[in-house]
Chains A and B, each alone.
Chain A
Amino acid sequence: MSVPNEETTAVDASAPEFLLDQHVKYIQALDTKKNDLEYWLTEHLRVNGLYWGATALHILGHPDALDQEQIVEYLVKCQHDNGGFGGHIDHDPHILSTLSAVQILITYDRLDAIQVDKVVDYIASLQNEDGSFSGDSWGETDTRFIFCAINCLSLLKKLDDKRLDLQKTIDYVVRCRNFDGGFGSSPGGESHAAQVYVCVGTLTILGALHHVDADQLGWWLSERQLKNGGLNGRPEKLEDVCYSWWVLSSLSMLNRTHWIDAPKLIRFILEAQDTETGGIADRPGNMPDVFHTVFGIAGLSLLGYPGLVAVDPVYCMPRHVIQRIGLIEKH
């Protein structure tokens, strides 16, 4: 079903080796740590965590490493009457977990298990007068939630829903553009690589990428790479593995991934692997977590690291899945 990465890139021979099997085991073991307080304290991220884990496993070429039936059954329990999904059973619905749930179900091709129309109702109910989207009924707005909404609707092929005003959404995102070409969390908010990713992703999905000055933003993004190869999220900040994804996927949407040094970034990600437990940390020497594991692995895939399944830069899902549902062409 899945094909290994076609683009292969030169890998520095002295770089640490990629611990594929250990990462698979690390992710499989995540749901067994019930004796750790940490396991319970991160409960609200369970659905997100499943998306991170399942996506990482797909990119690693081990799509069956988690029990699919059990996951689908669990997700069904996380959907509320209003159509939204909570971060866990009995947790309130939120757009962040709703997107994750939909992403997992599409990756496993199990959208049939839920009520899709209700998800669309939920998302449509979150659009605000100014075109932005709230994260939930309490009303917090952020460009992250816009991306979640647009991404989700696009995956469900429901962007044509009559209740939506997408031109207003585009206008709102454009208002979040800054003096440096980047994007913030709201109009006037400072540019941040993760916010750049969600805004460029939104404009890509909505066919409005011409609002982005690719040379200027590509410049800003490529200046995120530091001497040790890692990427930061804002000027004069520390490097972090998760930015391998936010920065790189944005560069990819702008056709400018070659504007940073790929072998050096690969090396940085590989050095952040935990050689004892598997998993990837935010930077070398720190504790791994599933969030940095998936974004490290997805970054490696986007860089053409050999043996990984290709990832889609917009949706952060396996490319063959996005092809299967017809959002990109197959060749």
Chain B
Amino acid sequence: MESRHGRKKEQAESPEALKTREEKETVLVREYLALKDTLKEIVESNKRDNDALKVTTALLRKSPDYYTIWNVRRTILKEGFLDNASDDETANKIYTGELEFVQENLKLNPKSYWMWNHRRWCLESMSQPRWDKELAMVGKFLEMDARNFHGWDYRRYIIRQLDLKDKEAKDKVLERAQSEFDFTITKIHQNFSNYSAWHNRSTLLGKLAEDMSTEEREAIVDNEFDLVKNAIYTDPEDQSAWLYELWLIGREERSISILGAHVISFHPLEIVVAFDETVKMRNPFTVSTRVDHVAIPLEGEWKATGSDSALGSVWIFQQAPGAVYGPTVEIVIFSDDVCAVRAGSKLPAAVCYELETLNQNLDEISGRLGRLVIGQNLMYDVTKRIGPVTGPDGTLETQAVHPKHRVTSLTESGSLDDRIALLEREISAVRELVELEPDCKWPIQILSTLLSELRKTVSIHSTQAKVIDDECIELQEKLITIDPLRQERYEDRRTQLVFDRETLSIIQDSKRFPEIEYSAKQPTNLDLSMRGLTHIPISSYLLHLHTLNLDSNSITSTRFLRNLLNVRRVNLSNNLIEHLEGMQHAPSLEFLTLENNMIAKWEDVVAGFVFWGEGKLARTGGHVKVLLGNNPVVVNEGGEYVLEKRWEDVGKVGVEIQWQSEELRLAEEALLAAEDETGAVGNMVVDGTRRVSATVVEFDAGLAH
């Protein structure tokens, strides 16, 4: 994949110079082609002698990446020399010659993959490879170019080969790891920016720590923190040591939380389960109903609300036609039923929800949560996945009884206090550096990360959490100003933090800290206008809202709408939306305001309704009104605002689009109302000199396909 790099462009030559160069070049080309012809003869005639070998030597000197010649050379060596070598010594001599040949060429082409390969082939074919010599060779090589990718890879390869030889002697392997570990410190002390050395150190440290006692591990990790401090005080702008520090600190693995479950329809029965992050379903969640005190499975299908029905934070179960359910329905989700899309998080234990289905008044029950059942006599047989089994303690699963907490990336503790102590120590150290170097982005980023880690250790409603959130938001704002290249990354982070702060009324700490769940009382309105949000980080939080105001943010996508199962009105005016998506699953949506966005093409409007016919709204005959005033898609044509194309193009759907601005519409409504009172016939509204079309395209949802 590599090609030519770093060749300076030469100045234009004089005609004479050009001519001389061209003449020289012609000779070179002729020589090269003659060599190639000879090679072809050799290959075709199966010649395996010294002359043949010499041709490959000459060609490889000129073209070291001509991999086929390396292959030919190995074949010649093997069949012409090695296979009939009388003893090991003869063979060894040949291999040693090859190693010298490679060595000499590596100096000129240190980045040629094929040469390193040939070297490996020699050593692996030799009866007694001198790996110690190789180690010395590559050590010298890394002295010339301390970051050479091939050099480091080759060094690790040698160590692997040696370790393989000492498979039975664990102490030797460990001793070697220690010596390599020491080699990295030599390299780091020569240059703190040697990221290759830091990287290798991370892999070796993990290996060394494997067999250590907790105390030894803590000591060695503390040592690493000191090393990092040394480096970052030398050059706080150098990312190598910071990235290493970040790894040392490690991250407390988040557990997936189930926010809640509730019924959204009785005929057919539809149940929704909301997670606090996007998950992939591995096994369908178990749904059972009790008929005459006997639990029987309830047939049906689980789907996520996204365009990808196998991935999402909101999952809907729909009963199979003809299935019968009793007064209660239970959902059991085992921890291995889901896996998180973000690496590292998992569902710590099985969860069971009990839903009442006796009172079937949907208006009354809408938003009412299923009861989380913990520790009742509800043992489930994981293998059968359904039905009560007798268990002595009545817990669902025995795991996650004694959670381990991360202290560093290499150490764990049974107590959260150790983690907190380490975080606080590092926070105060980094704070000092932030004070010394207020405009350096790295200490600020690391401080923000450390604080976020600390927040994971406290209750989400605690004062400390609030203080941390406020400081982290401030840090992001600082980063936006000092590192404009990555501004949007900080804005995304800031959005997450602001969102967490503003949605505190929606969630609460679960009985199983550190998990969270929906608060018992759900707000129906949320005002998130003018918060500088770039996206909606976790849309399942908003499941119960009826009204959501997102006016004047920097939101670019409407995809989150698909999880807002109860939302009636959404205001997204004054954002950065370019096309509509996610509308097909918002069954209660009545009013969507998108004025002053960047929707430029009719297809981008239509895209939002592509699966509309399959969505619930179309089935139930609901109606949605979309306000599109002041979007580029609305063109002013001779005084009349028209859309590029007509709605008929996508078929009949229950969608009403309004493309004049809402302000004008209200004025018009008032006028019509006034005319109504006087009994006059409605007229077009005249706004100054421009005539505004008041036409709306309306279709019967019942005919949707």
A interface vs B, CB < 8 Å?
34-37, 40-41, 43-45, 48, 86-87, 90-92, 94, 96, 138, 140, 144, 178-180, 185-186, 188-192, 194, 209-215, 218-220, 222-223, 225, 227, 234-237, 240, 242, 256, 258-261, 264, 274, 281-282, 285-287, 289-292, 331
Q: CB distance A189 to B67 under 8 Å?
A: no
Q: CB distance B607 to A331 under 8 Å?
A: yes
| Assembly CA distance A210 to B343 (angstroms) | 6
Q: Please indicate which of the listed interface residues A180, A213, A292 has the most CB atoms of chain B within 10 Å of its own CB.
A: A180
| Assembly CA distance A218 to B490 (angstroms) | 12
CB neighbours of B152 from chain A (8 A): 189-190
Check A191/B121 contact, CB under 8 A, given A236-B239, A289-B4: no
Check A179/B247 contact, CB under 8 A, given A281-B9, A289-B4: yes
* B32 close to chain A: CB less than 8 A: yes
* B149 close to chain A: CB less than 8 A: yes
Q: Which of B185-209 contact A (CB under 8 A)?
A: 193-196, 199-200, 202-203
CB neighbours of A242 from chain B (8 A): 3
Q: CB distance B67 to A235 under 8 Å?
A: no
Check A213/B342 contact, CB under 8 A, given A44-B68, A94-B67: yes
* B113 close to chain A: CB less than 8 A: yes
CB neighbours of A35 from chain B (8 A): 22, 25-26, 29
Q: CB distance B29 to A37 under 8 Å?
A: yes
* B485 close to chain A: CB less than 8 A: yes
| Assembly CA distance A287 to B6 (angstroms) | 8
Stretch at the interface among B58-66, B292-300, B506-514, B652-660: B58-66
CB neighbours of B220 from chain A (8 A): none
| Assembly CA distance A240 to B1 (angstroms) | 14
CB neighbours of A194 from chain B (8 A): 1
CB neighbours of B486 from chain A (8 A): 222-223, 225, 259-261
CB neighbours of B200 from chain A (8 A): 188, 190
Closest Cβ neighbor of A38 among chain B residues: B4
| Pick from B1, B66, B339: contact of A210, CB under 8 Å | B339
* B538 close to chain A: CB less than 8 A: no
CB neighbours of B344 from chain A (8 A): 213
25 A-B pairs whose Cβ atoms sit less than 8 Å apart in the complex: A37-B32, A48-B1, A87-B67, A91-B67, A140-B113, A144-B1, A178-B199, A179-B203, A179-B244, A179-B409, A180-B246, A189-B152, A190-B149, A190-B199, A192-B149, A210-B343, A213-B343, A218-B489, A227-B485, A234-B149, A234-B195, A256-B489, A259-B489, A285-B9, A286-B6
CB neighbours of B67 from chain A (8 A): 44, 87, 91-92, 94
* B674 close to chain A: CB less than 8 A: no
* B354 close to chain A: CB less than 8 A: no
> Shortest CB–CB separation between residue B481 and chain A, in angstroms?
14
| Assembly CA distance A286 to B6 (angstroms) | 6
Q: CB distance B342 to A264 under 8 Å?
A: no
Check A286/B488 contact, CB under 8 A, given A185-B153, A189-B153, A236-B238: no
The contact string, 1 if C-beta is below 8 Å from chain A, for chain B 74-98, is: 1000000000000000000000000
The contact string, 1 if C-beta is below 8 Å from chain A, for chain B 403-416, is: 00000010000000
Q: CB distance A236 to B8 under 8 Å?
A: no
Q: CB distance A92 to B68 under 8 Å?
A: yes
> Shortest CB–CB separation between residue B443 and chain A, in angstroms?
15
Q: CB distance B66 to A291 under 8 Å?
A: no
CB neighbours of A218 from chain B (8 A): 489
> Shortest CB–CB separation between residue A330 and chain B, in angstroms?
11
Q: CB distance B40 to A282 under 8 Å?
A: no
Q: How many A-B residue pairs have CB under 8 A?
A: 166
* B133 close to chain A: CB less than 8 A: no
Q: CB distance A289 to B3 under 8 Å?
A: yes
Check A96/B1 contact, CB under 8 A, given A41-B63, A188-B203, A210-B342: yes
CB neighbours of B244 from chain A (8 A): 179
Closest Cβ neighbor of B64 among chain A residues: A41
* B240 close to chain A: CB less than 8 A: yes
Given contacts A190-B149, A237-B147, 11 further A-B contacts (CB under 8 A): A35-B22, A35-B26, A37-B29, A92-B71, A190-B199, A210-B340, A210-B341, A210-B343, A240-B5, A282-B6, A331-B610
Q: CB distance B489 to A222 under 8 Å?
A: yes
CB neighbours of B36 from chain A (8 A): 40
The contact string, 1 if C-beta is below 8 Å from chain A, for chain B 482-503, is: 0011111100100000000000
* B546 close to chain A: CB less than 8 A: no
> Shortest CB–CB separation between residue B38 and chain A, in angstroms?
14
| Assembly CA distance A290 to B4 (angstroms) | 10
Closest Cβ neighbor of A258 among chain B residues: B488
CB neighbours of B74 from chain A (8 A): 138
Q: CB distance B62 to A41 under 8 Å?
A: yes
CB neighbours of B26 from chain A (8 A): 35
Q: Which of B135-161 contact A (CB under 8 A)?
A: 147, 149, 152-153, 156
CB neighbours of A180 from chain B (8 A): 199, 243, 246-247
Closest 10 CB pairs of A and B: A291-B3, A179-B202, A213-B343, A259-B489, A179-B247, A235-B195, A287-B7, A261-B485, A258-B488, A92-B68
| Assembly CA distance A71 to B156 (angstroms) | 41
> Shortest CB–CB separation between residue B368 and chain A, in angstroms?
33
CB neighbours of B202 from chain A (8 A): 178-179
| Assembly CA distance A96 to B2 (angstroms) | 11
Q: Which of B1-26 contact A (CB under 8 A)?
A: 1, 3-9, 22, 25-26
Q: Which of B330-363 contact A (CB under 8 A)?
A: 339-344
Q: Which of B112-131 contact A (CB under 8 A)?
A: 113, 117, 120-121
* B280 close to chain A: CB less than 8 A: yes
| Assembly CA distance A290 to B121 (angstroms) | 32
> Shortest CB–CB separation between residue B158 and chain A, in angstroms?
12
CB neighbours of B32 from chain A (8 A): 37, 40-41
Q: Please indicate which of the listed interface residues B1, B152, B239 has the most CB atoms of chain A within 10 Å of its own CB.
A: B1
* B33 close to chain A: CB less than 8 A: yes
Q: CB distance B9 to A212 under 8 Å?
A: no
Closest Cβ neighbor of B311 among chain A residues: A210
CB neighbours of B3 from chain A (8 A): 45, 242, 289-292
| Assembly CA distance A261 to B489 (angstroms) | 10
Q: Which of B210-260 contact A (CB under 8 A)?
A: 238-240, 243-244, 246-247
> Shortest CB–CB separation between residue A223 and chain B, in angstroms?
6
Q: Which of B356-414 contact A (CB under 8 A)?
A: 409
> Shortest CB–CB separation between residue A284 and chain B, in angstroms?
9
* B28 close to chain A: CB less than 8 A: yes
Q: CB distance A86 to B195 under 8 Å?
A: no
Q: CB distance A220 to B607 under 8 Å?
A: no
> Shortest CB–CB separation between residue A126 and chain B, in angstroms?
15
Check A189/B156 contact, CB under 8 A, given A94-B67, A178-B199, A234-B147: yes
Q: CB distance A191 to B199 under 8 Å?
A: yes
| Assembly CA distance A40 to B486 (angstroms) | 43
| Assembly CA distance A203 to B47 (angstroms) | 45
> Shortest CB–CB separation between residue A228 and chain B, in angstroms?
10
Check A274/B9 contact, CB under 8 A, given A92-B67, A210-B341, A234-B147: yes
| Assembly CA distance A185 to B246 (angstroms) | 23
CB neighbours of B65 from chain A (8 A): 44-45
| Assembly CA distance A185 to B150 (angstroms) | 10
Q: CB distance A214 to B121 under 8 Å?
A: no
